[in-house]
Structure 1
Amino acid sequence: MQTNVWSDQVCAAGIDGFNSWKSESIAKELDQIVQDALMAQNQQNINFENALSHMMKMRQFLSNPNNILGSNHTKHGEVAEHLEVNVRNAWVALNGQKEVATFDGVARTAPEDFILDNVKYQSKFINGTNNTLKHVLKHFEKYQDESMNYSIPKDQYQVIEAIKSGNPPSCLNSKSVHTILQKVEEIELETGQSFQNVVKPSISKYSEAQLGRVGETVSKHQDRLVEENQRIQDEIQQEARGRKKFTELKKGPSVSEGSKVTVTAATITASLNTITIIYRKVKAGKRIQDFETSDWKEVGLSSVKAGVKGGVTASSIYALTNLTSLSAPFAGAVASATMGLTSLMTDLNKNQITMDEFVTQGQILCLEAGIAATGGAIGQMLIPIPILGSIIGTVTTNFIWAYAKDKLGERERELKNILNAYSQSILAKVDIAYQNIILKINTTYAHYNSLMDAAFTVHANSSVLAAASVNLASALGVPERRILKDDNDLETFFLG
């Protein structure tokens, strides 16, 4: 078969394979985007339910006012504490985070009222900013606990901040402003810390914690949670739409993929041309190990020309993008050689070719794998040219024997004798250093060969085949997360 026909067949197979691969990859990616979005939305639904559960705790607490500490005029103090704990926990729960506030381990009459971010807090909700600061001072003077923080109404804290910044509210006279500043200084003096380190703003204003208004306050917090949850859900959907749009754009052509087509086609064409020229020389009676420098130069120069021509021609065949990765890996070369040897063995068993022809043609089929294994592409000086043929010849010969062993019956001895004689004639040209290289390569070949034999032995039971297939997939570099190892993995793959 002529080289151009062979090349056309490979390109046609590559085009069909690439198109199928690309469509399948994009479909899988789109499916993954949908699954990711559904998982994110489901998780957010769980987060929202957890957030609402904290608001439910708040409503349950308010449902029985008689159990709230204090008189009708002071019950707002404990109400503020529960707002602080439950509302803060609701907001972090909405974002999928752990609780930040708790009453656990805190007695109702303990010096602290609740724990927030692992810090003890005493809540002071008193009518009037100055009065609140008085109670903060009084509490600190009584317990002298420097690890204690104080929570005061949010609106009162804002008044203090405005006064400290020189912009006091117009509703306060100068005497009130001076008194508040004096209390702030006293707190800093007593605690030895800045006011901001000791006193923190509550999430509630003074009026929002009152029994007559706290129900409305809880409803407002809950409405904000609902709005925020919807915003998060919309953001998840928007991100999914963006990812889908980006993925769908991959269906169309791109300059980068077009440039890859040229390189890919050039590589494939040069490779086919290399094998053809070497095969012609071998058929003419010259063994690979006897190739001289001039022979290798002819092979390399011809392959370069053929590669350039093939690259220019195939630049219009966009589907060849990424096919380079199919011929580059070592395992891929081994698999290709195995399929070719299967066809040759069929011809040999039908007496359509002789044993010598089986060996010779087998070497040609394995040549690309041999080059990939030695790392010595034609024209590169990684391995000295005079010794390159010997190395490739030895590697391909050993691979042919590893494949044909136990498959030829009575003719196995004949093949072994031929291969032994062939190997002995060429190993004499290879020194100790290259023998070590060959040993390493052959070990790798044997490893892949045994994995493929185990994975494709049709007489083995299903469990053995499954285990062998997993081992083969791992050896070929398939990501662990994509390998189906058992029935659970299989069920998850099909059922999502």
Structure 2
Amino acid sequence: MMFGKVLRRNEEQAVASWINYLNQVRLDRLIEGLNNQEINFSDAINTLVSTMAKINETIIERNRGGLKGMHGFIAEVAECGVGNAREQILGKMPIYKWVNDNGPADLIRDGVEIQQKFVNSGNHLSLQAIKQHYSDYPWFLDGGRKYQIPADHYEKIKYLLSIPEEQANKMPKSNGEFSLKQWKEVHEFFDGEKIKLSDIEPSRFSYKDVQRDQIQETIGLEKNSIKETDEAIRKDLYEKSKATLKQGAQVAAASAALEGGMTFATGIVKKRKSGKKIKEFTTDDWIEISKDSGMGTLKGGIRGITIYELSNYTATSTAVASSLCTASFGIANEAYRYRNGEIIQEEFLLNAEVLCVDATVCALSSIIGQTVIPVPILGAVIGNTVGTFVYEIAKDNLNEKEQKLIKQYVEELQEYNKYLDQKLEAYILKLQEEFRVYYSLLEKAFSPDYSIALEGSIRLAVSLGVSEKELLKNEQETDAYFN
């Protein structure tokens, strides 16, 4: 009888431990994902910072290309830097490389050579510049190479190609945006069949975005975009880590199948122990077994979804949730017996009390077993087996006073468990606040404004335990250190 009870409790706690394992896997994946995303975000922001520094040092400060050509070099570096940052924020490797050799290609993307043309003079939408380049390198489009032009030029070309000449004649010309001459130029360019629209692609920037007095703001806007992407990814990771109805349904189905199958097997064993062979089972025997199995399946489904919901949406461990289910089923059965007059009130109260203590010992034993043997399911089962046997022996052999002491001790453990849950919640809230402060310091430390970055770096270092005596806090201290 005791063995059957232990077997049933083991099955219940095995389900609880399995659900706890599923919950822990989701949490581990969330933490791993957030850690990886922190690296991705740092890499992307660092790439944008170094891109702006390269533009300043190698182009603007050297006046490379002069007033009329500088923006072309800026566009090349920006295209590579921003393109790589957008890959890195997604956890991918950089795919852009700036060629910087004044050759036929300006940059390479995933092995594809690209020639950029950011030319606004004559209102030719960069097409004349492409035509000249193709004249010098007639082989350039072989092998999938591409020409790249400002995004606004590309959109205008697409629009002009999409309208008939009659409509072009009716377009307003006073604002200088469109003209019949421009419409004809675009159509004649692509009617030559040497260069197709598919050979040209839009840059991620418009013409004005890469001008000398605009590029700082352009990179700043890209940083904001990277931050938004990062926040969306983190939110998605969090959402995916949450409990789902689908997983809850799977847990309920598995638990129902396990408990129903266990009840079916136990029913057959029980009949066999009475002296009957399976071939001697009557119709009534099979009906009884099927009825018990159906009830076990129902209980298993309820147990599975209840443990899943309690452990994910309340501060309840899976072992405790399973024991609560067991106690609830038991008390419901005792209430049914009491309503039918099978037991009196005193028996109902006593039985309910024993059921609750049983469930508490089962939960505590499983928790201890899982702690001592940190193997999913195995620790809970072994702990429950040992705890249940010890409790049953104590319950049958100890006197009333000793049993009261055990019960009091169990209740104290429950109160302490609630206290620990509250402390854990407080620690989590504190940790979230510290993360918020840390991210704020991190953002300042990587600010493009060197004064804000210096202040942020100092505050970040201090928050991480670096002594202020070891820090260079101003320009004078920095000069003195390196001199």
Between the aligned partners of 2:8 and 2:299, the Cα distance in structure 1 is 6
Residue of structure 1 aligned with 2:196, choices 184, 194, 218:
194
Larger CA Rg, structure 1 vs 2: 1
Q: Is the 8 A contact 1:91 1:225 kept in 2?
A: yes
Cα 1:42–1:181 shift into 2, 3 Å: farther
| TM-score normalised by L of structure 1 | 0.52
Specify the code of the residue in structure 1 equivalent to 2:19.
I
**Structure 1 residue 162: Cα displacement:** 1.3
Specify the code of the residue in structure 1 equivalent to 2:56.
S
Q: Is the 8 A contact 1:266 1:306 kept in 2?
A: no
Residue of structure 2 aligned with 1:127, choices 120, 132, 135:
120
Other-structure match for 2:291: 312
Between the aligned partners of 2:113 and 2:201, the Cα distance in structure 1 is 12
Other-structure match for 2:480: none
SS of equivalent residue, structure 1 residue 121 = strand
**Structure 1 residue 194: Cα displacement:** 2.1
Q: Is the 8 A contact 1:153 1:206 kept in 2?
A: yes
**Structure 1 residue 257: Cα displacement:** 5.1
Other-structure match for 1:35: 28
Q: Is the 8 A contact 1:264 1:321 kept in 2?
A: no
Alignment of 1:345-494 (within 5 A): none
Q: Is the 8 A contact 1:269 1:306 kept in 2?
A: no
**Structure 1 residue 316: Cα displacement:** 3.8
Q: Give the CA RMSD over aligned residues.
A: 3.3
Other-structure match for 1:205: 206
Other-structure match for 2:182: 179
**Structure 1 residue 174: Cα displacement:** 10
| TM-score normalised by L of structure 2 | 0.54
Say whether residues 1:139 and 2:133 are aligned partners: yes
Alignment of 1:99-248 (within 5 A): 99-103=94-98, 106-128=99-121, 129-130=123-124, 132-144=126-138, 145-147=140-142, 148-166=145-163, 170=172, 176-187=179-190, 189=192, 191=194, 193-195=195-197, 197-243=198-244
Q: Is the 8 A contact 1:271 1:303 kept in 2?
A: no
Greater relative contact order: 1 or 2 (C-alpha under 8 angstroms, separation 6 or more)? Answer: 2
Cα 1:189–1:265 shift into 2, 3 Å: same
Q: Is the 8 A contact 2:114 2:147 kept in 1?
A: yes
Q: Deviations over 1:240-264 (max 9, x none)?
A: 1244x7667888xx58855764554
Between the aligned partners of 2:178 and 2:230, the Cα distance in structure 1 is 46
Between the aligned partners of 2:129 and 2:159, the Cα distance in structure 1 is 21
**Structure 1 residue 127: Cα displacement:** 1.4
Specify the code of the residue in structure 1 equivalent to 2:126.
T
Specify the code of the residue in structure 1 equivalent to 2:235.
D
Other-structure match for 1:85: 80
Specify the code of the residue in structure 2 equivalent to 1:164.
L
Between the aligned partners of 2:79 and 2:150, the Cα distance in structure 1 is 11
Between the aligned partners of 1:28 and 1:87, the Cα distance in structure 2 is 41
SS of equivalent residue, structure 1 residue 67 = coil
Between the aligned partners of 1:255 and 1:50, the Cα distance in structure 2 is 44
The aligned length equals 291
Between the aligned partners of 1:320 and 1:13, the Cα distance in structure 2 is 17
Specify the code of the residue in structure 2 equivalent to 1:301.
E
Alignment of 1:326-345 (within 5 A): none
Specify the code of the residue in structure 2 equivalent to 1:14.
L
Between the aligned partners of 2:281 and 2:243, the Cα distance in structure 1 is 48
Q: Is the 8 A contact 1:163 1:177 kept in 2?
A: no
Q: Is the 8 A contact 1:89 1:101 kept in 2?
A: yes
Q: Is the 8 A contact 1:164 1:181 kept in 2?
A: no
**Structure 1 residue 221: Cα displacement:** 0.7
Cα 1:178–1:300 shift into 2, 3 Å: farther
Other-structure match for 1:61: 54
Give 5+ residue unaligned stretches, structure 1: 1-7, 279-297, 323-472, 474-496
Give 5+ residue unaligned stretches, structure 2: 302-377, 379-483
Cα 1:62–1:146 shift into 2, 3 Å: closer
Q: Is the 8 A contact 2:125 2:157 kept in 1?
A: no
Residue of structure 1 aligned with 2:269, choices 264, 268, 271:
271
Cα 1:304–1:51 shift into 2, 3 Å: farther
SS of equivalent residue, structure 1 residue 75 = helix
SS of equivalent residue, structure 2 residue 104 = coil
Cα 1:13–1:319 shift into 2, 3 Å: farther
Cα 1:307–1:260 shift into 2, 3 Å: farther
